């Protein structure tokens, strides 16, 4: 196999490894709050939103050390051991305790920082200027298949269930744990094109992160880091809970959480495939793709505002009987799921490709900075999701998305003016 073929194979294996891991973890996050509401045990007092806030808060802080970890043990082992922490978090739901729930949240936050920094490093060292856009799209599309398979399983397992029993929960989370472990071991199939970083490089890693951080904040990709963190929280944890809380959707409301996740995944896969594989046909830069994502999300937020009751994120296990501004429609709810996924893929494919393109020599610190900003905002969003009604959450998303996109457009136009001098080609 030629060198380019090996690098492409590495990207595909990376995508499949993440697909298996996040089939388990994203499904877990999507159903977590609904599952916790249905616990029969009176000794468990955890909150799924609080857990996710802890995960992303620790995630953001751990990005300061993640480049050093990747430099010392290499991206392959970094992803494997981080994957084990993800698997442990999922397994905790088989026999949950409050102390183990929050302890696992802290550990998976640390693992997430290392995992995504290593992923960015593997993506970058297996790409060049001509293939970084394509490889980002391939990875993103494979990753988002996780939303399809995991949520399809949830739909089949919970179809017609009004209440989630302990047996239902244990069966689901045992299966998800096994799936996550399969993804961990797939990382050993990746062939490293470059030798592992020596321990001496680790001492320089934090300095690189600091210097990269100051320059990173001056370029375009930072403009969307914060909104992407807020939107990640909404589509991965809050919206599914809202759908499951709508008693007006009938007895299938809980299983609709799975269908919603599938629709989000279809939108993500479609966007990742189109914007990744057809990137060479894009002669107009990144702004049109980001604008499409902004419009798509605004349409989704407006329809959600009209269709979903305002107290749905905070409703008890029995759900909410309230109605929003139109008669609640399952079709509209699932259309919004698709639009959330499509819009998110517009933003993230552009972010992944531009970071890999601009920070090839310091990819690990650069991806760590990106995840640092994104995870801080995700932690904040999961925290306020415990308290804010749906319409306030949607208002925050609209304002953040608009301001972030405007900043991105300005930065892109500034980069365009210097492209001829710096050979800055559109990805």
pLDDT in tens, 161-179: 666 777 878 888 999 999 9
Between CA 376 and CA 369 the distance in angstroms is 11
Least confidently predicted of 53-62, 295-304, 310-319, 384-393? 310-319
Q: Is the dihedral of CA 359, 361, 363, 369 positive or negative?
A: negative
For 214-421, CATH gives 1.20.1250.20
pLDDT > 70 in the chain, percent:
78
3-state DSSP assignment of residue 130: coil
Angle (CA) 48-54-60 rounded to 5° is 135
The band of 423, judged by pLDDT with boundaries at 50, 70 and 90, is low
Contact 32, 205 (CB under 8 A): no
339 in Cβ contact with 299 (< 8 Å): yes
Residue 203 has pLDDT above 50, yes or no: no
Contacts of residue 21, defined as CB under 8 A and 6 or more positions apart, other chains included, come to 83, 86, 146, 179, 180, 183, 184
Q: Output phi, psi for 46, to 5 deg.
A: -85, 165
- Answer with the residue of higher pLDDT: 160 or 66: 66
Q: Which span out of 52-66, 250-264, 331-345, 361-375 was modeled with the highest average pLDDT?
A: 331-345
Q: What is the pLDDT of residues 262-292, one digit of tens each?
A: 898 888 888 877 776 655 555 666 778 888 8
Distance (Å, whole) CA 73 – CA 215: 26
The percent of residues in the chain predicted with pLDDT above 90, rounded, is: 22
Instruction: Report the 10 Å Cβ neighbour count for 349.
Output: 28
Sign (positive or negative) of CA dihedral 226, 342, 244, 331: positive
The CATH T-level fold of domain 1-192 is Growth Hormone; Chain: A; (1.20.1250)
pLDDT band at 216 (very low <50, low <70, confident <90, very high): very low
pLDDT band of 207, cuts 50, 70, 90: very low
Q: Where in the chain is the domain with CATH 1.20.1250.20?
A: 1-192, 214-421
Q: How far is the C-alpha of 311 from the C-alpha of 309, rounded, in Å?
A: 6
Which segment, 24-33, 118-127, 177-186, is predicted with the most confidence on average?
A: 177-186
Structure tokens at 104: 């696992």
Longest dimension (CA), the chain: 66
- 246: closest CA among 366, 162, 361, 174? 162
Please tell me the distance from the alpha carbon of residue 407 to that of residue 224, in angstroms, as a whole number. Answer: 8
In angstroms, rounded to a whole number, what is the distance separating the alpha carbons of residues 396 and 384?
A: 11
Lowest mean pLDDT among 172-176, 217-221, 292-296, 319-323: 217-221
Q: Tell me whether residue 422 is exposed, middle or buried, using C-beta atoms within 10 angstroms of its C-beta: 0 to 12, 13 to 18, 19 or more.
A: exposed
User: According to DSSP H, which parts of 246-286 are helical?
Assistant: 253-277
In which band, very low, low, confident or very high, does the pLDDT at 399 lie, cut at 50, 70 and 90? very high
Could you tell me which of 243, 127, 216, 142 has the C-alpha nearest to residue 183? 142
Residues pairing with 320 in the sheet: 246
**What does the radius of gyration of the chain's CA atoms come to, in whole angstroms?**
21
Q: Give the per-residue pLDDT at 276.
A: 62
Q: By C-alpha distance, which of 70, 69, 33 is closest to 53?
A: 33
Report the run of H or E that residue 322 belongs to, with start and end.
none
The mean per-residue pLDDT over the stretch 55-78 comes to 88
143 and 13 Cβ atoms separated by less than 8 Å: no
**Residue 246, beta-bridge partner list:** 320
């Amino acid at each position: 196999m030629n060198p380019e073929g090996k690098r492409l194979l590495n990207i595909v294996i990376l995508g499949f490894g993440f697909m298996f891991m996040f089939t388990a973890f994203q499904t877990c996050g999507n159903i977590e709050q609904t599952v916790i509401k249905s616990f029969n045990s009176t000794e468990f007092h955890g909150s799924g939103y609080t857990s996710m806030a802890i995960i992303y808060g620790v995630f953001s802080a751990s990005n300061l050390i993640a480049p050093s970890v990747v430099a010392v043990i290499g991206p392959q082992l970094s992803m494997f051991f981080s994957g084990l922490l993800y698997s442990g978090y999922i397994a905790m739901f088989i026999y949950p305790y409050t102390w183990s729930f929050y302890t696992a949240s802290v550990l998976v936050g640390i693992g997430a920082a290392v995992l995504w920094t290593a992923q960015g490093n593997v993506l970058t060292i297996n790409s060049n200027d001509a293939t970084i856009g394509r490889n980002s799209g391939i990875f993103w599309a494979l990753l988002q298949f996780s939303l399809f398979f995991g949520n399809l399983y949830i739909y089949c397992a919970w179809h017609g269930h009004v209440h989630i029993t302990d047996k239902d929960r244990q069966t689901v989370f045992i299966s998800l744990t096994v799936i996550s472990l399969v993804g961990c071991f797939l990382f050993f199939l990746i062939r490293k094109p470059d030798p592992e970083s020596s321990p001496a490089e680790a001492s320089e890693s934090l300095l690189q992160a600091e210097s990269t951080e100051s320059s990173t904040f001056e370029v375009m990709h930072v403009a969307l880091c914060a909104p992407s963190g807020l939107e990640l929280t909404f589509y991965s944890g809050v919206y599914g809970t809202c759908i499951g809380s709508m008693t007006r959707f009938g007895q299938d409301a809980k299983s609709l959480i799975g269908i919603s996740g599938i629709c989000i995944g279809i939108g993500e896969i479609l966007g990742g495939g189109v914007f990744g594989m057809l990137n060479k046909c894009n002669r107009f830069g990144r702004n049109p793709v980001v604008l499409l994502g902004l419009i798509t999300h605004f349409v989704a937020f407006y329809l959600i505002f009209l269709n979903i009751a305002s107290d749905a994120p905070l409703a008890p296990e029995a759900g909410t009987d309230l109605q929003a501004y139109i008669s609640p429609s399952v079709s509209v709810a699932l259309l919004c799921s698709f639009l959330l996924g499509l819009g998110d893929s517009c933003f993230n494919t552009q972010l992944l490709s531009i970071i890999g393109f601009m920070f090839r020599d310091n990819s690990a610190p650069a991806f760590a900075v990106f995840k640092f900003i994104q995870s801080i905002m995700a932690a904040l969003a999961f925290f306020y999701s415990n308290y804010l009604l749906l319409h306030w959450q949607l208002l925050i998303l609209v304002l953040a998305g608009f301001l972030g996109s405007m900043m991105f457009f300005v930065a892109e136009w500034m980069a365009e003016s210097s492209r001829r001098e710096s050979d800055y080609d559109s990805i």
